[in-house]
Amino acid sequence: ASFPLLCFRSPLVAPLVFGLVLLAPFTQPSTVTQPNFVLLLADDLGIGDVGCYGNDTIRTPNIDRLAKEGVKLTQHIAAAPLCTPSRAAFLTGRYPLRSGMDAINDYRVIFWNAGSGGLPPNETTFAKILQHQGYSTGLIGKWHQGVNCESRNDHCHHPLKHGFDYFYGMPFTLISDCQPTETPEMDRAFRRKLWLSTQMIGLVTLTAVLGRLTGLISVHWRTLACLAGFSFLFFISWFSSYGFVRYWNCIMMRNHGITEQPMVTDRTTSLILRESISFIERNKHKPFLLFLSFLHSHTPLLTTEEFLGRSRHGLYGDNVEEMDWMVGQVLDAIDKEGLKDTTLVYFASDHGGWLERQEGTRQLGGWNGIYKGGKAMGGWEGGIRVPGIFRWPGVLPAGTVIDEPTSLMDIYPTVVQLAGGAVPQDRVIDGRDLLPLLRGTAVHSQHEFLFHYCGVHLHAVRWHQKDTGAVWKAHYMTPIFSPPGAGACYDRGFCPCFGEGVTHHEPPLLFELSQDPSEAKPLSADTEPLFDTVIRRIGRAIEEHRRTLTPVPEQLSVSNVVWKPWLQPCCGTFPFCWCDKESDK
């Protein structure tokens, strides 16, 4: 008999098939339709800065609404504690050292638009896979994954080479140098040394010239000319880059074209919001991926007049509240176009808040709640534990809280599989599909171990012991706080990954995060019967993990991060790079 006849004849089979038909759209939403994706990624936002994660003084009603209508992750982990490597991991689903996007030196992020390092062309982002699945893909906001390799216009690292159909935003990252009224931020200590060296060389030259003129020093004029030439060349060698940071790094692009050089910061927020909403409106009739990569809440904390002075946390709080308002505007645009039920919205931060970022008495960095450490610290929770919120009405249960280890790298396989694509099989993908966990069909995260790097240096490892529910974390290196006991590296501005600024632990510091999330009470063999067992198991996991690593070119090597004038994006004839096409409109 045919299958339909069999169904009607069997009183048991008919209800079963009917139930499967009803259940199918929920268990396999990607087979019914390809959802839209709106990925919202904040910059330097601390987990303690958001209302639904415990902050009761900074107002974030729209982010809180996302959590109320969706799923909130309380143990969502960035793969790195700084922008460039964390975002590389987010885009590729792989630890950043697999793509060469983590540093062996102190230059731990892309430093110049005119550097030659960046996300390698052979890396496959989730945007590239969705593009092949028929999605319209757009990136609005911050990139910070490099621009060019060998020439000014090869755009080998550009978003359009990595799967995005449309790009509007900063190829670099927002820094205080972009705001003429702010104190320069980029390589501040190194610049001071260069200025001091220039002044000393200039003083020596001037003294020699005066000595020759007064007859106190017997020196040939040719020697003085060479000394003066050296002084001038030394000054030009560094001032040609550091003296024009605002022109070289603070630019806005639309696709391959530069629209503002330097950027006009007063209108940046409104333009990014306008572009984001316009992208949704243009692509509402087909599946789309919008990656809105906020410039908030990175210094110099660009904030419009409407939000200045509104919060109880100074300029930083004003900036966070403005970002929350932008989230609300994007959500309203989704609702207006009738896309709410067919759009998966995700909100997170690229890493923890920057504790050391201060100007005088002003705190310009974020707050990481109960968690120790912050930005640039690869092991402590405050540097890597971030907000993580998903909303997809009708598919994900509203008001759900999940306290399982998850990673920003998990977005990659989750988005790819929902779009009907396939995760690459020719490389290691470290992310795991989150949909079973988000929907409640799985109890535990698929991550047993997560490895916490600071640059290429392994600082800590997390082991989720699923049979007991324990979350162990072993620290092999930790930064030395300065001043001692301060909780951050205030004397340096950033905590280092290696060298004299870190402490090596043998045996490792061990914490049980489900009992001690603040990492305040390290365990020992005397206080924890399982100490040796846990350390041995984590040690074996490290050995297994390291066997999966293969050598790749270092994208953040000194030769790749230095400023190269022939790679500088320029909207005029180099070095006369200036334009304002937004004003021309």
Give me the residue spans of the domains in the chain. 36-174+251-444+554-580, 188-242
> Which residues have CB under 8 Å from 159's CB, separation 6+?
127, 139, 143, 145, 167, 171
Strand partners, 41: 293, 348
* Paired tokens of 191: 């610049």
Residue 366: its pLDDT value, please?
96
Of the listed ranges 200-209, 488-497, 535-544, the one predicted with least confidence = 200-209
Q: What is the mean pLDDT of residues 220-240?
A: 89
Known active-site residue 52 = no
Between these two residues, 434 and 24, which has the higher pLDDT value? Answer: 434
**pTM of the complete model beyond 0.85:** yes
Q: Which residue has the tokens 């005397």?
A: 526
H/E segment holding residue 507: strand 502-512
User: What is the SS3 assignment for 525?
Assistant: coil
pLDDT at residue 16 greater than cutoff 80:
no
Q: How many CB atoms lie within 10 A of CB 8?
A: 10
Is the pLDDT reported for residue 12 higher than 50? no
Scored b (16 or more CB within 10 A) or e, 497-532 reads bbeebbeebeebbbbbbeeebebeeebeeeebebbe
Q: What is the mean pLDDT of residues 202-220?
A: 85
User: Once rounded to an integer, what is the mean pLDDT over residues 180-203?
Assistant: 87
Q: State the pLDDT confidence band at 294, using cuts at 50, 70 and 90.
A: very high
Residue 297: the pLDDT is 96
Tokens of 112: 């110049």
Name the token pair of 188.
Answer: 């501040």
pLDDT above 50 (res 17): no
Asked whether residue 490 carries a pLDDT value surpassing 70, the answer given is: yes
Q: What is the pLDDT of residue 409?
A: 98
Element (H, E) at 505: strand 502-512
* pLDDT beyond 70 at 30: no
pLDDT digits (tens, 9 = 90+) for 46-91: 999 999 999 999 999 999 999 999 999 999 999 999 999 999 999 9
3-class DSSP state for residue 308?
coil
Beta strand spans in 352-500 (E): 358-359, 362-363, 385-391, 400-402, 406-407, 449-454, 457-465, 470-479
At 526 the pLDDT is: 96
Q: What is the pLDDT of residue 214?
A: 86
Round the average pLDDT of the chain to a whole number and report it.
93
Give the residue from 570, 29, 104, 41 showing the smallest Cα distance to 346. 41
Q: Kindly report the backbone phi and psi dihedral angles of residue 350, in degrees, each rounded to the nearest multiple of 5, phi listed first.
A: -75, -25
Q: Are 303 and 326 in contact (CB under 8 A)?
A: no
The catalytic position among 83, 454, 489, 495 is: 83
Written as one letter, the residue type at 290 is L
Residue 181's pLDDT is 86
- 70: closest CA among 440, 446, 441, 517? 440
Q: How confident is the model at residue 577 (pLDDT cuts 50, 70, 90)?
A: very high
Check whether 343 has a pLDDT greater than 60: yes
The residues, any chain, with a CB within 8 Å of residue 148's CB and separated by 6 or more, are 114, 116, 154, 155, 156, 157, 158, 567, 569
d(CA 67, CA 65): 5
Letter string b/e over residues 107-134, b meaning 16 or more CB atoms within 10 A of that residue's CB: bbbbbbbbbbbbbbeebbbbbbbbbebe
Q: Where are the alpha helices (DSSP H) in 346-473?
A: 381-384, 411-418, 435-439
Write down the pLDDT at residue 188.
78
pLDDT at 4: 36
Q: How many residues does the chain have?
A: 585
pLDDT at residue 5 above 90?
no
- Class of 36-174+251-444+554-580 per CATH? alpha beta
pLDDT, residue 27, reads 41
- For residue 547, the number of C-alpha atoms closer than 13 Å in the C-beta half-sphere is 6
CA-wise closest residue to 165 among 117, 216, 125: 125
Cα angle 572, 235, 114; round to 5: 40
Judge whether 345 and 334 are in contact, CB under 8 Å: yes
Find tokens 């402490």 and name the residue.
503
One-character DSSP codes across 25-86: HHH-HHHH---EEEEEEESS--GGGSGGGT-SSS--HHHHHHHHHSEEEEEEE-SSSSHHHH
pLDDT band at residue 585 under the 50/70/90 scheme: low
103-112, 122-131, 320-329: least confident range: 103-112
Catalytic residue among 76, 144, 457, 459: 144
